[in-house]
Structure 1
Amino acid sequence: MFRGRRSTSHEDEQVDDADILASSVTSLGSRHYIDPEEQIATRAAWLYFVAGLTQAQIGKKLGINRTRVNRVLAQARDQGLVQINITGRLASCVELEDRLSQRFGLQEAVVVPTPPDQDMIPQVIATAAAAVLSQRLKNGMSVGVGWGRTLRLSIQSVPRRRLDRLSVVSLLGGLTRGSAMNPHETASHLADLLGGQCYYVAAPALTDTESTRNLLIAQPMLREIFERGAKVDLAFLSVGALTPGCTMSRVGLITRSEVDDLLRAGAVGDICAHWINVEGQLVDHPLNARAMALPPHYLKSIPCVVIASGGRTKAQVLHGVLKGGMCKVLITDEQAAKTILAMDPA
């Protein structure tokens, strides 16, 4: 791990106390394969965050244009090659953290500045979430995990270390087609990083009918997984907004007409593949009876439920999980935090 303090010119973003984790060599038997693209990304990250070069200087040194330098630095963040810890705390964020904790009885709230580029919200929240998760992981723990882009990015930034007797339990079924956000991939990646045992829900996240769901969940193997999920020490989850382009819709789990039906039923988003309203109650909709996932009411009895999500579109569903008592630790951004607090005035 490389540590360095970065102070840039006006043309580059300022980043302090950058922790750069560069793991670029993959062992293949007695040989070593080096990915050229990963090497460029790692070198660019080193030169930018540690050596203090500008993007223009890096481009000249590596023989690539500045547009590509910008792209590979973004790639380094997305792939977990770069992990950034900002030691200073913003007063405005601290105030929001205190208000959220007091209003909703949280163990902890972490609020990060909302980036100008809305597409970067999952990444900045993921960076903070990885630090919170890493601090709370202990030997002998059982960890339940959900799915989504923010969780995937978070786990990419969790440092690799071995914990004794640790288990990871997926809290919902998988997708029927390949996706980097597949719940199975999220759970297995975290288990691999920590040397833990992984337990999957060997079924789709959403069944075709309620009777199929009841038939599957009655099987001893799946019943055991859900029993494990209900008893985890820590759950690491995100939430999904309810919009035409939401994750559930993009991966083909729900249709546009089902989105409209859910909106009419009062749903504002989902947690663990279950649709809830702004007060944290399950809405009356057939999709909730088809979810192969841990029902949200079980989250209330889990000692620590960490939810990482943000952006204005997630404010209503985050308000729901907070009001419903399904969250103990919240990691979000300023924009979402202010919107949540405005929805529930003292």
Structure 2
Amino acid sequence: MRRNVNGYGADDHSLALRAAWLHYVGGLTQAAVARKLKLTSVKTHRLIARAVADGAVKFSIDGDIVECLELEAALAKRYGLSVCEVTPDLAESGLPLRALGLAGASYLARLIDRSAGHMIGLGHGRTLAAVVNELAQRTASNVRFVSLLGGLTRHYAANPHDVMHRIAQRTDAPAHVMPVPFCANSPDDRSVLLSQHGVSEVFAMAQTAPIKLVGIGTVDDDAQLLRAGMIEDADLAEIIDAGAVGELLGHFFDVHGGRIATALDGRTLAVSLAECGDDQLVAIAGGIDKTESIAAVLQSGSLTGLIIDESTAREVLQRGDAR
């Protein structure tokens, strides 16, 4: 079979373009495309996804999307962001995982395409897991991924929202996990863990990754750090009492964006924000319930980029206007 520059058959390339044309321009459902081209539904889905991932499908949308562009400009100006994308609402209830997943996957695909030889650091959580799940299968041997924080719970169980194994499956790229808990029992235990062969190397890779994609956490009873077993009730209670409202990579912030010192500081195994320097630190976060948390992290000046849903973007800006 002839091979094209994208690494798959020239015949499949042509078929992918035809399937994408019928679906996006012709308005046929994927099931209808499969019947018309006499393909299985699975192959039809993969061909269309391949056409999208390769950039063959380009959209031009007029109308309310202009409002998203205006929100992007306002957020970028107010918080000094070099990257800002506001995704249109998809009428999701609760956390807008579909909208954020699609927008985040598109951004990650672009990063992969232009980041030859680079290391991309990834946080974890429900939103980043949705991003990786939406990423089309692709070969990305030109990049490597590394976890930005410990991926195990306090009791050394797997984090249910870890993304490293998923990203390795999606891209066939090396993905370096941080095989330690997010929070050690004591500062001494943290030092012992970091001294282990391999752990210190992964930690150094994470700290020096020039591109870091992260989520933003709340500081309340619904906090993912608590629900995933990364910290305990007593830890969360102390953090709340200290006035924290937002969390980024295990670092906590008050409503004004000030850094909150907690007993976890000497025990957390995560990259240091102070040492990020000129790194790109892009958060993918949204949901009305996270408005206060996102606003706090933005106020801290830690981020260089943000991908957010339309409703939450509007609420963040209104909160800033009210100050």
Amino acid at match of 1:244: D
The alpha-carbon distance between structure 1 residues 306 and 100, as it changes in their structure 2 partners (threshold 3 A), is: same
1:294 aligned to 260, 271, 280, which one? 271
C-alpha contact 2:160 2:228 (8 A) present in aligned 1: no
Question: Displacement of 1:85 after TM fit?
Answer: 8.3
- On the 8 A contact 2:146/2:205 being kept in 1, the answer is yes
Give the match for residue 303 of structure 2.
Answer: 327
Q: Check conservation: 1:18, 1:86, Cα contact below 8 A.
A: no
Higher RCO (CA 8 Å, separation ≥ 6 residues): 2
How far is the alpha carbon of 1:19 from its aligned partner? 12
Residue 228 of structure 1 is aligned with which of 184, 205, 216? 205
Percent same amino acid among aligned pairs?
A: 23
Summarize the alignment of residues 198-213 of structure 1 with structure 2, pairs less than 5 Å apart: 198-213=175-190
Question: For 1:162-192, what per-residue CA distance to the aligned partner results, in whole angstroms no more than 9, with x for missing partners?
Answer: 234421111111122244412xxx1232233
Cα 1:191/1:281, change in 2 over 3 Å: farther
The amino acid that maps onto 2:297 is: V
Deviation for aligned residue 1:18: 11
Q: Give the alignment partner of residue 103 of structure 2, picking from 120, 124, 128.
A: 128
Aligned-partner Cα distance in 1 for 2:27–2:187: 48
Contact 1:140 1:163 in 2 (8 A): no
Contact 1:299/1:327, CA 8 A, preserved across alignment: no
Counterpart of 1:331 in structure 2: which amino acid?
I
* Residue 252 (structure 1) aligned with residue 225 (structure 2): no
User: How far, CA to CA, are the matches of 1:155 and 1:329 in structure 2?
Assistant: 18
Give the secondary-structure state (helix, strand or coil) at the position aligned to 1:287: coil
Q: Quote how far apart the aligned CAs of 1:258 are.
A: 3.1
Partner of 2:161: 181
AA partner of residue 302 (structure 2):
M
Q: Please give the alpha-carbon distance, in whole angstroms, between the structure 1 residues aligned to 2:297 and 2:58.
A: 28
CA change 1:336–1:100 in 2 (3 A) is same
1:99 matched to 2:79: no
Q: Which runs of 4+ in 1 moved over 6 A?
A: 16-20, 83-86
Change (3 A) 1:133 1:252: same
Select 1:317's aligned residue among 281, 290, 293. Answer: 293
The 3 A distance-change label for structure 1 pair 298 and 3 is: farther
Q: What SS does the corresponding residue of 2:265 show, helix, strand or coil?
A: helix
Note if 1:342 corresponds to 2:322: no
CA distance in 2, matches of 1:335, 1:262: 28
8 Å Cα contact 1:167-1:191 kept in structure 2: no
8 Å CA contact retained: 2:83, 2:304: yes
Q: Give how far 1:321 is off.
A: 2.7
Q: What is the distance in 1 between the residues matched to 2:76 and 2:276?
A: 18
Distance 1:5 1:309, change over 3 A: farther
Q: 2:13: which partner in 1?
A: none
Alignment of structure 1 residues 269-280 onto 2, 5 Å: 269-280=246-257
Counterpart-to-counterpart distance in 1, 2:89 and 2:26: 19
Preserved CA contact (<8 Å) 2:183 2:230: yes
Structure 2: distance between partners of 1:223 and 1:17: 51
Matching of residues 115-194 of structure 1 within 5 Å: 115-119=90-94, 121-137=96-112, 138-175=115-152, 176-182=156-162, 186-194=163-171
* d(CA) in 2 for partners of 1:228, 1:237: 16
Task: Say which is worse superposed, 209-218 or 135-144, in terms of deviation.
Answer: 209-218
Q: Which runs of 5+ in 2 are unaligned?
A: 1-15, 35-44
**Residue 61 of structure 2 is aligned to residue 88 of structure 1:** yes
1:37 alignment partner in structure 2: none
Aligned partner of 1:261 in structure 2 is: 238
Give, in whole Å, the separation in 2 of the partners of 1:192 and 1:318. 30
Find the residue that maps to 1:3 and give its secondary structure.
helix
Change (3 A) 1:4 1:326: farther
User: 1:128, CA displacement in angstroms?
Assistant: 0.6
Q: TM-score, normalised by structure 1?
A: 0.72
The separation in 2 between residues aligned to 1:297 and 1:281, in whole angstroms, is: 13
* Cα-to-partner distance string for 1:263-305 (whole Å, 9 max, x where unaligned): 1211112211222223433312112322111122233431x22
Deviates more, 1:159-168 or 1:222-231: 159-168
Between the aligned partners of 1:180 and 1:4, the Cα distance in structure 2 is 38
Match of 1:46 in 2: 30
